[in-house]
Amino acid sequence: MNFETVIGLEIHVELKTRSKIFCSCSNEFGAEPNTNVCPICSGFPGMLPVLNQQVVEYAIKAGLALNCEIADYCKFDRKNYFYPDLPKAYQISQFDLPICKKGYLDIEVDGVKKRIGITRAHLEEDAGKLVHQGTISSTPFSLVDLNRSGVPLLEIVSEPDLRSSKEARAYMEKLRSLLLFAGVSDCKMEEGSLRCDANVSVRPYGQKTLGTRTEIKNLNSFRAVEKAIDFEVQRHIEAIEDGEELIQETRTWEEDQQITRSMRSKEEAHDYRYFPDPDLPPLRISREWVNDLRLSMPEMPEQARERIMDQFGLSAYDAGLLTLSPDLLAFFDECTHYYHDGKIIANWMMGEMSKLLNQKNLDIGQCRIRPAHMAEMLNLIDQGRISGKMAKEVFQVMFDTGSSPEAIIKERGMEQISDEATLEKIILEVIANNPGAVEDYRNGKKKATGFLVGQVMQATRGQANPALVNQILARKLNS
Amino acid sequence: MTISIKEVEHVAVLARLQLKENEKEKYARHMGSVLQYVDKLNQLDTEGVEPLDHILPVFNVFREDQVKPASNREEILANAPLVEAGQYKVPKII
Amino acid sequence: MELYELTLRELQQVLHKGEASATDITKSVLGRIHEVEEKIKAFITLDEEGAINQAQQCDARGAYSGLDGIPYGLKDLICSQGMKTTCASRMLENFVPFYDATVAARLKAAGGILLGKLNLDEFAMGSSTEQSAFFPTRNPWDLTRVPGGSSGGSAAAVAARELPFALGTDTGGSTRQPASYCGVIGFKPTYGRVSRYGVVAYASSLDQVGVFSREVGDCAQVLNIIAGKDPLDSTCVELEKPDFTSFLKDDVKDLKIAYPREYFQKGIDSGVKDTVKQALLKYEELGAIVEEVSLPHSEYALPTYYLVAPAEASANLARFDGVRYGFRDFQAENVVGMFSSTRAEGFGDEVKMRIMLGTYALSSGYYDAYYLKALKVRRLIKEDFDNVFAKFDLIVAPTTPTTAFKLGEQVGDPLTLYMNDILTVPVNMAGLPGMSIPCGFLEGMPVGLQLIGRAFDEGTLLRAAYAFEQHSDYHQAKPDLGGELI
């Protein structure tokens, strides 16, 4: 039997405000436990929430980036459940009236374009963090750190429009890129500022109703999203083929074992008892406000992609890669201020630079190479002052030190030797020292040239201008 | 309106209130009598009435996105029943 | 006259004239507390040393203004920095907040001297102060009777001359009802007028801080200090704050007063009705226009309240889980067990009962039938008031159906006890300002006159109350602390 996979993603994005959603504690990541907390985000008696305006503006911007309708009126609700990391034992969230709804984004997988619906995006506060000794089931006790409690989150829920793990990954990448461009989140999966839960089911092709759905949590990277969905889809298909019953449940992705595992949290059905939070007056979002925010939005990736394709003749693929993040695009754009050929810039960025970044597991924001320096290096190649091969060495040093290419080649004497007199002198020496090779050449073994060029390069530590060496050597051998 | 012991037990789980056997019956009785009383509301036709969830005609109450100093950790943990390594210590989850 | 017998206004005069110092006043008040507290049991925490220190610092500063040198107390669910705030619950028996409620901070900044924290029904859930986890407070007019509740400690302390003023809260009548039972002024401002920051929440959409005093003018002065926009409370609104003392005028001429017929029907003690009608006649005498009106949904206010308040409470009190503060059951093996046993042991019966009710009303399958229905009826109740206030300036009614009942008399059936709030709850449902002032006595027990105004029109209440006070002496009557201690 052939099966169709149906996937919907719920993505939690941390909004990059300075302070938390309902109090003035810092929103920064990685502080010592319980040092970014106050009585409000720690749920002390008598404490009240006051909404951070920037959170609302970021949510509206995210909604605009995701082609959503922005609500005229929305409110906050209390979602009630007990957990040690949830200080008030209710999470302030939005239930029936989310700030954004009915959006979409476009993805492209294997050359096929597809529009994925976004059901809604709503605001909520994050919970704190539970630290276990070992695993949650073996730990004798747990520790509660509330630094993250009250960090603003936007939960973005997709329609079940995704049909493969590749589409799911493409959706996430696109979503991330849109949110990065909109400037509303850092989208750092490793720091948890972009988190994904996947709802997965399979059904025989042609069947209208959805199969039994499972929800996978703990997906901390794009790779994990893809792998976990693949695993889960396979598990569903096997179960159906073996006539086993699938249960609707929440599962967690075990990164070490590359499997999903049932979370088997008490089968007690959740009953969140949502009701409007009396402590927070509702929001009325005027169209003027939305329009002002729309006008303040930066160029979005699709526009940028069109622009750099037009302006620099880049392929759709290359332009797509360069618009994956605003940092990449900004780097590219800045390079083009100092160097004319966008294609060459793109090649270096996606070739050498991307290779070095990947080796060090860095992103472009952490790259020490300045765009102006990259352009300078490309100009040096064009001027013949360094060879393409030397450029790679220079680039490596630029990457390691952040120095300018001019300084690097000066300091290290790496400049290409293009002075004919100097080269001629070295070439004559090589000819004198290698009579055998010269003899071979003159007897018709043209391959001997290669050996002699190699000797010249060795003698100049690779700095001789190879075109000039060939030219002079041919002249001398034939004279 | 009567409420069964089973319903009382379910609500007690949701509310995280451990009830003794004799309490369950008492709660069933008390809750039942209050629920019977509030059933009076069903005498009213509220078709088309907008629920009143906020009494004040106030919207968009915001604060600026400004960071203020956090609480002193010793102070915030001072009332905690059990603390370790600057964190609240709780028994095992499962 | 002893210093402790003086009202806030009189104490200010004494200080200004240099007839006594803040320390003299505090010592006198502490002396009174020593004398009568064993009978009244109003205080959960009494900070004598702190009070004397504050008074001495106040005297050292010299000139007296605002509340300088005036002793006061707070209902013990108003957070006070460095002083236990128990909510009269085992759950918070040893909880010491390191922050002040906004109202506490404002009174402190105005120079007031905080003597201690006053008894209440646990987490403000009750009408008699018998639900305190620690001890019941007694009515100074008859020690065998309750002071009302939930702010019974505040009302009793002010009535017994243990304090010139005190703060309470009012969610369904918790300021007005005990004020009525104890024969003092009890003022519940409009919802949104006074900050709730630092006031431990019972029902957030209804809670409001209330003021107890022995004179209307004192109440206006305290309102001047505690009212007004607070950036820490999103529901405490930005409005121009009037000088509340500017309304203290002996003038109700042409004031349009309505009395709702539903507030004088069965279940209301006939003596109470007659006393209140006398007060209405007094207003007519003073030139007001008095007419009967109808608030047709009045009888639905109490059932609405018993859905809305417990539902909100079930969420508000969920944070007491033994993790960050308060009581914890250390015997439990895992977290769920700890939550459940901590809450079972930390909370008293009435609190648990209301949490259960509220949880039920919000739970899946019942939300629409109970909670949503209640919110709809709440709108109808509010619209009743809107209709009356389109034509009238003020509503006058009894505060409570009876005078104070005996301790232990209404324990058992929750509904009987809930009926005490039947005349006060509608005001909270509509978010309006309400006030109780002494208007007479029945068999030696005070009767309260309830005044209800338009939203944010506290001024009219103060004016009408002041005028009544000028033409009566009920507020000057002193309880004799009689009756046998149970």
Per-residue pLDDT of chain C (486 residues; tens, 9 = 90+): 899 999 999 999 999 999 999 999 999 999 999 999 999 999 999 999 999 999 999 999 988 999 999 999 999 999 999 999 999 999 999 999 999 999 999 999 999 999 999 999 999 999 999 999 999 999 999 999 999 999 999 999 999 999 999 999 999 999 999 999 999 999 999 999 999 999 999 999 999 999 999 999 999 999 999 999 999 999 998 888 899 999 999 999 999 999 999 999 888 999 999 999 999 999 999 999 999 999 999 999 999 999 999 999 999 999 999 999 999 999 999 999 999 999 999 999 999 999 999 999 999 999 999 999 999 999 999 999 999 999 999 999 999 999 999 999 876 666 777 788 999 999 999 999 999 999 999 999 999 999 999 999 999 999 999 999 999 999 999 999 987 765
Scan for tokens 């509660």, then name that residue.
Answer: A144
- Among the partner-chain residues C237, C328, C363, the one whose CB lies closest to the CB of B11 is C363
Per DSSP (E only), the strands in B1-94 are 62-63, 83-84, 87-91
**Residue C113 falls within a domain, yes or no?**
yes
The predicted pLDDT at position C113 comes to 98
Per DSSP (E only), the strands in A258-319 are 259-262, 275-276, 283-284
The predicted pLDDT at position A267 comes to 47
Closest by CA position to C179, among listed C191, C193, C167:
C167
* Fold adopted by B1-43: Histone, subunit A (1.10.20)
Spans of all domains in chain B: 1-43
Q: Do A34 and B76 touch (CB under 8 A)?
A: yes
* B32 → chain C, closest CA residue: C357
Testing the interface with C: which of B3, B31, B52 to mutate, by most C Cβ within 10 A? B52
Q: Do B12 and C356 touch (CB under 8 A)?
A: yes
Q: Is the dihedral of CA C408, C410, C414, C419 positive or negative?
A: negative
Structure tokens at C348: 């008293």
Q: What are the tens digits of pLDDT across the range A342-362? A: 999 999 999 999 999 999 988
Q: Let me know the angle formed at the C-alpha of A336 by A332 and A340, rounded to the nearest 5 degrees.
A: 135
**Residue C306 falls within a domain, yes or no?**
no
Chain C positions touching B86 (Cβ under 8 A) are: none
Among C127, C128, C174, C314, the active-site one is C174
Segment among A142-151, A207-216, C94-103, C149-158 with least mean pLDDT: A207-216
C75 labelled catalytic: yes
Q: Do B15 and C306 touch (CB under 8 A)?
A: no
Report how far residue A212's alpha carbon sits from residue A198's, in angstroms, rounded to the nearest whole number.
Answer: 13
Report how far residue A246's alpha carbon sits from residue A203's, in angstroms, rounded to the nearest whole number.
Answer: 12
Single-letter code of the amino acid located at A457: M
Sorted by where each starts, the structural domains of chain A and their CATH numbers stand as 3-290 (no CATH), 299-411 (no CATH), 420-478 (1.10.10.410)
Chain C positions touching B50 (Cβ under 8 A) are: 376, 379
Q: What are the tens digits of pLDDT across the range A231-279? A: 999 999 999 999 999 999 999 999 899 999 988 654 456 899 999 999 9
DSSP-assigned beta bridge partners for residue C431: none
The predicted pLDDT at position A445 comes to 83
Structure tokens at B25: 């019956």
| H-helix or E-strand spanning residue C482 | none
Question: What is the tally of structural domains in chain C?
Answer: 1
Q: What are the tens digits of pLDDT across the range C201-254? A: 999 999 999 999 999 999 999 999 999 999 999 999 888 889 999 999 999 999
Closest by CA position to A168, among listed A144, A204, A198, A195:
A198
The CA-atom distances, in angstroms, between A178 and each of A118, A119, A466 are 13, 17, 46
ipTM above 0.90, yes or no: yes
Q: Do A33 and B88 touch (CB under 8 A)?
A: no
Chain B positions touching C297 (Cβ under 8 A) are: 44
Whether residue C430 contacts residue C295, with contact meaning beta carbons closer than 8 Å, is answered with no
Q: Let me know the angle formed at the C-alpha of A95 by C191 and C352, rounded to the nearest 5 degrees.
A: 60
Fill in the DSSP letter of residue B72. P
Report yes or no: C296 at the B interface, CB cutoff 8 Å: no
Residues in chain C: 486
Q: Do C376 and B50 touch (CB under 8 A)?
A: yes
Report yes or no: C198 at the A interface, CB cutoff 8 Å: yes
Distance from the B74 Cα atom to the nearest Cα atom in chain A, whole angstroms: 10
* A142 → chain C, closest CA residue: C335
Whether residue C149 contacts residue C60, with contact meaning beta carbons closer than 8 Å, is answered with no
Fill in the DSSP letter of residue A364. G
- On the question of pLDDT at A433 being above 50, the answer is yes
* C371 → chain A, closest CA residue: A275
- Among the partner-chain residues C201, C205, C321, the one whose CB lies closest to the CB of A46 is C201
**Residue C313 falls within a domain, yes or no?**
no
Total beta-carbon pairs less than 8 A apart between chain A and chain C: 105
**Residue C357 falls within a domain, yes or no?**
no
Structure tokens at C106: 């404002």
Closest by CA position to C188, among listed C477, C462, C4:
C462
Q: What are the tens digits of pLDDT across the range C50-95? A: 999 999 999 999 889 999 999 999 999 999 999 999 999 999 999 9
**Residue C364 falls within a domain, yes or no?**
no
Q: Do A34 and B84 touch (CB under 8 A)?
A: no
Report yes or no: A185 at the B interface, CB cutoff 8 Å: no
Q: Residue C426, CB half-sphere, CA atoms under 13 Å: how many?
A: 28
Chain C positions touching A82 (Cβ under 8 A) are: 318, 321, 336, 339
DSSP-assigned beta bridge partners for residue A249: A214
Chain C positions touching A44 (Cβ under 8 A) are: 97, 99, 319, 324-325
Q: Which chains touch B (3 or more CB pairs under 8 A)?
A: A, C
Distance from the B15 Cα atom to the nearest Cα atom in chain C, whole angstroms: 6
Structure tokens at C154: 């505040």
Residue C49 belongs to domain with CATH number: 3.90.1300.10
C174 labelled catalytic: yes
Q: Which domain holds residue C64?
A: 3-258+390-476
Report how far residue A391's alpha carbon sits from residue A380's, in angstroms, rounded to the nearest whole number.
Answer: 9
| H-helix or E-strand spanning residue C292 | strand C289-293
Q: Are strands A100-109 and A112-125 parallel, antiparallel or unpaired?
A: antiparallel
Q: Do C322 and B41 touch (CB under 8 A)?
A: no
Report yes or no: C332 at the A interface, CB cutoff 8 Å: no
* C91 → chain A, closest CA residue: A45
Among C127, C128, C150, C180, the active-site one is C150
The interface residues of chain B toward chain C in range 16-75, judged by CB-CB distance below 8 A, are 16-19, 27, 30-31, 33-35, 37-42, 44, 46, 49-56, 58, 61, 63, 71, 75
